[in-house]
Amino acid sequence: MPQPPDGLLARTLAAITPVGDTFTPLAAARQNSLTKPPGSLGMLERLGSQVCRIQRTVTPSVARKTVLVFAADHGVAREGVSAYPPEVTPQMVLNFLSGGAAINVLARHAGARVVVVDMGVDHDFPADTKGLTIRKVRRGTDTITRGPAMSRAEAVTAVEAGIEVAAAAIADGAELLATGDMGIGNTTPSAAITACLTGRAPDRVTGRGTGLDDAGLAAKVKAVERAFAANIPDPTDPLGVLAALGGFEIGAICGAMLGAAALRVPVVVDGFISGAGALLAAALNPDAAGYMIAGHRSVEPGHQVQLDHLGLAPVLTLDMRLGEGSGAVLAMHVVEAAVRVINEMATFAEAGVSGR
Amino acid sequence: MPQPPDGLLARTLAAITPVGDTFTPLAAARQNSLTKPPGSLGMLERLGSQVCRIQRTVTPSVARKTVLVFAADHGVAREGVSAYPPEVTPQMVLNFLSGGAAINVLARHAGARVVVVDMGVDHDFPADTKGLTIRKVRRGTDTITRGPAMSRAEAVTAVEAGIEVAAAAIADGAELLATGDMGIGNTTPSAAITACLTGRAPDRVTGRGTGLDDAGLAAKVKAVERAFAANIPDPTDPLGVLAALGGFEIGAICGAMLGAAALRVPVVVDGFISGAGALLAAALNPDAAGYMIAGHRSVEPGHQVQLDHLGLAPVLTLDMRLGEGSGAVLAMHVVEAAVRVINEMATFAEAGVSGR
C-alpha cells in the first residue's frame, strides 16, 4: 500500500489505537448490577459498553454532541446520475445555515450542535458567511467517468480537513460526534468507492439515491462502471481510491472518523455517503472501526454491504435515505440513553430489589 | 360476543371512531413541500402522517408526553414461570417512585412524565405513597392454571381504571401516551392472551421472559397450556379472555389504549405485555389500533405475532425485553422527531431550493 505523506494524516493514523477490552468486564459488571434482568436492554447495553471501552471509564458521558456536515459538489452530477440539479448543493448549505433543513430539526431535537463545512461546493460563499466553516479544496471534483476526481494531494487535503474539523469540535467539548453529507450526485462516488473497497459488483451497491427511476438507475450503474474503467482503482490504496472515485466531502468524513478515533471519541456514522467515508477510514487504519457506531440502515442497497464489511450493526432501521447526518443524529438519542442508563439507574443493592 | 356492561367501558368503546383519512393528503402535501426528497425520511414521514390524522391537523404536537406504568402481581408467578421472585414487583414499584429504574432514566431522557399505577400489587402501599396512583383491584390475580385470573366484574374494573388513568393524563396535558408494565410472571398471562386472540399455539408465543432456561421455558409453555385447559377461553369474548387469563395491569393497559383512542391521542405500545393489552383493546374495538404506534420489537417471540395481528410496524428493534414502557419511551423521541420535521422544516419555496 502506498504510504500517505508525512504530516497530519500520518500522525493521526499512528495515533489510533485499538479500542481495547480493558473496560469490557467493568462495564458488564456495572450493567449487571443495575435493576433489570441481565441483557434485557439489548443494544443499549452493547452501546453503553462500547462507549465505556472507548472513553476508558464506567461513568461515560456523551451529553455534548456535535454533527459535522460536509458539503461538496461532483463533476459526475452533470451526467444524469441524480434526480436533483447541482445548484441544490449550495442552496441546501444555505438552508443548513438558516436552520430549516432536516438535520437542523433533528439536531435540535437531539441536543446536538451542527457544524457545516464547505469542502468543495461549486459556489463561492463569502468568507464571513455566518456559521460556515470553509475548507474548500476546490469548486467540485472532476468527472470520475473520465478520470480521477481529484489529485492525490487534494485527497490528503480533504482527509486532513476532516481530521482538523473533528479535532476542533472535540476541543470545543464534543463527547460524541456524528458525520453527515450534502452533495448532489454523491451516491455515485460512494457506490464506486464501496464497490472498489468491498469487491462487490457496481450494480449490487448502486441505488436510487434521492429518487432515480429505472432508466436513471441503469445510467448510474453505467457511470460507476465507466469510473472503474477510466481509473482502474487499486483497493489496497485507500487514498488512491479516494482520489480516483471520491468526493471532497467523502474524504473529509473519512478524516473526521480518523480524527475522532485518534482522540478516542465515538462517532456515529450516518448512511451511505458516510459509510463510504467509513470504509476509507477503516482501510487506512482498521482500528478506526472500533470507534464507529452505525446510526441507521439506509435503504440504499450498498449500505448493508458497507455495514457488513465494517462489522457494524445499525442502531435504527427507519427506511431513511436523506443523508445530511439525519439518521446519525436520530441515533444519538439512543446512544445517550445507553450512557444515561449506566450512570443513572439504581443497582439492586441501592434499590433493595431481590435478585434471581 | 357478550356485551360489556353499561358504563364507562361501553361509553368509551362507543366514542372511538376510525382515525380516518381526511388528513392523509394534507399531511402528504406538507411533507412533500419540505426541503428533502419525497419519502426520504421513511418511517418518520409515516409516523408524522399518522399523528396528523389522529390529531386532525397538519401542525401536530406531541411535546407533552406521559408514560403510564401499570403494576400488578400474578398467582401464576408462584408456579416457577419467572426467573425472579414475586416480591420484586413491589420492590420495583418503589424503585419507580424513587426514580432509579430504567423507565425513569429513559423517560427523563425523552422528556416524558412517569405515572405509576398500582393495579394489584401483592403489597399494601400506604394510601399517601408519594407519586403512586392506587387503583388496586386486589392483591394479585388467582392462578390461571387452575381457573380464571379474576371475575368478569374485576376485568371491567381493571379496564375502566386504565381508561380513567389515561383520561387523567390527557386532562393534565399529555399529547402522546405510552404504556408500560411491571409484574413478575406477567409474560405468562400475556402469552396465554396472545395465543387465545391470535389462534397460535402456546409454544409459538411463549418466550424466556426475564431470562428462563430451557427447563423453565418448557414449564412456562405447560402453564399456558394448563391455563387454556382450565379456562377454555372464548377468543370472541375479550373481557372473558382477560378474566380467564389476564392480569390487572394488562386490563389497565387495554383500558389506557381505549381511553387514548376515544380522546384521539396517539399511544406508543411497549413490548409483549403492552402488546397483550393492545390485542384486547383491538378485539374490543378494532378502530383502536389506528391510534397505536408500536414502540419497538421485543425479543419475546410472541411479540411479532402480536404486531402482525395488529398490523403495526415497530419503530425500534433494539433486542430489548425489559418492559416497564422502556421501549415505548425510547421510541417517543422518534415520534416527536417526526412531528418536529413537519412543523419546523423549511419548504422548498421558503428556502429557495430547486426541485427535481
Residue that wins the pLDDT comparison between B289 and B5: B289
What average pLDDT does range A12-24 have in this prediction? 97
pLDDT digits (tens, 9 = 90+) for A245-283: 999 999 999 999 999 999 999 999 999 999 999 999 999
* Residue A37 confidence (pLDDT): 96
ipTM entry: 0.96
A318–B43 CB contact, under 8 Å: yes
What average pLDDT does range B29-45 have in this prediction? 97
Residue A174 pLDDT greater than 90, yes or no = yes
A91–B352 CB contact, under 8 Å: yes
Structure confidence at residue B80 as a pLDDT band (50, 70, 90) = confident
pLDDT digits (tens, 9 = 90+) for B133-154: 999 999 999 999 999 999 999 9
> Which A positions 67-96 lie with beta carbon below 8 A of chain B?
83-85, 87-88, 91-92, 94-95
Closest chain B CA to residue A89: B353
SS3 percent helix, strand, coil of chain A, rounded to 5, is 50, 10, 40
Rounded to the nearest integer, the mean pLDDT of chain A is 97
List the domain boundaries for chain A: 7-59+342-351, 65-335
Closest chain B CA to residue A338: B106
Residue B218 pLDDT greater than 60, yes or no = yes
Torsion angle of the four alpha carbons B91, B93, B97, B98, in this order, in degrees rounded to the nearest 10: 30
> Is the Cβ–Cβ distance between A19 and A53 less than 8 Å?
yes
* Residue A123 confidence (pLDDT): 98
Q: Which of A79, A160, A249, A324 is flagged as catalytic?
A: A324
What does the alpha-carbon distance between residue A66 and residue B221 come to, in Å, rounded to a whole number?
48
Contacts of residue B238, defined as CB under 8 A and 6 or more positions apart, other chains included, come to: B1, B197, B254, B280, B283, B284
Q: What percent of chain A has pLDDT over 90?
A: 96
* Residue B6 confidence (pLDDT): 75
A317 → closest Cβ in B317, B351, B356: B317
What average pLDDT does range B165-171 have in this prediction? 98
B333–A336 CB contact, under 8 Å: no
A102–B346 CB contact, under 8 Å: no
What does the alpha-carbon distance between residue B221 and residue B230 come to, in Å, rounded to a whole number?
14
Closest chain A CA to residue B102: A345
B36 → closest Cβ in A315, A322, A333: A322
CATH topology for A7-59+342-351 is 1.10.1610
A102–B341 CB contact, under 8 Å: yes
- Which one of B297, B332, B345 makes the best mutation probe of the A interface by having the most chain A beta carbons within 10 Å? B345
Residue B356 pLDDT greater than 90, yes or no = no
DSSP category for residue B242: H
Between A and B, how many residue pairs show a Cβ–Cβ distance under 8 A?
183
**Which residues on chain A are in Cβ contact (under 8 Å) with B350?**
100
A35–B350 CB contact, under 8 Å: no
Measure Cα distances from B254 to B135, B174, B276 in Å: 15, 18, 8
Enclosing H/E stretch for A345: none
pLDDT digits (tens, 9 = 90+) for A279-331: 999 999 999 999 999 999 999 999 999 999 999 999 999 999 999 999 999 99
**Which residues on chain B are in Cβ contact (under 8 Å) with A102?**
34-36, 41, 341, 345
What does the alpha-carbon distance between residue B52 and residue B61 come to, in Å, rounded to a whole number?
9
* Residue B144 confidence (pLDDT): 98
Helix (H, G, I), strand (E, B) or coil at B307: helix
Check CB contact of A315 with chain B, cutoff 8 Å.
yes
Check CB contact of B249 with chain A, cutoff 8 Å.
no
Across A277-330, where does the E strand assignment appear? 292-294
B353 → closest Cβ in A95, A320, A337: A95
What average pLDDT does range A42-68 have in this prediction? 98
Rounded to the nearest integer, the mean pLDDT of chain B is 97
Pairing of strands B132-134, A292-294: unpaired
pLDDT digits (tens, 9 = 90+) for A194-240: 999 999 999 999 999 988 999 999 999 999 999 999 999 999 999 99
Check CB contact of A102 with chain B, cutoff 8 Å.
yes
At how many degrees (to 10) do helices A214-231 and A187-198 cross? 60
Residue B310 pLDDT greater than 80, yes or no = yes
* Residue A3 confidence (pLDDT): 56
* Residue A14 confidence (pLDDT): 97
Measure Cα distances from A305 to A145, A190, A310, A328, B13 in Å: 23, 12, 9, 18, 48
Q: What percent of chain B has pLDDT over 70?
A: 99
* Residue A5 confidence (pLDDT): 59
> Which A positions 276-305 lie with beta carbon below 8 A of chain B?
299
> Which B positions 13-52 lie with beta carbon below 8 A of chain A?
34-44
Distance from CA of A347 to the nearest CA of B (A): 8
What does the alpha-carbon distance between residue A87 and residue B167 come to, in Å, rounded to a whole number?
51
Burial bucket for residue B137 (CB in 10 Å: 0-12, 13-18, 19+): buried
Check CB contact of A320 with chain B, cutoff 8 Å.
yes
**Sheet (strand B112-120) strand order:** B132-134, B112-120, B65-72, B176-182, B267-269, B292-294
Domain covering B65-335 assigned CATH 3.40.50.10210 in the classification: yes
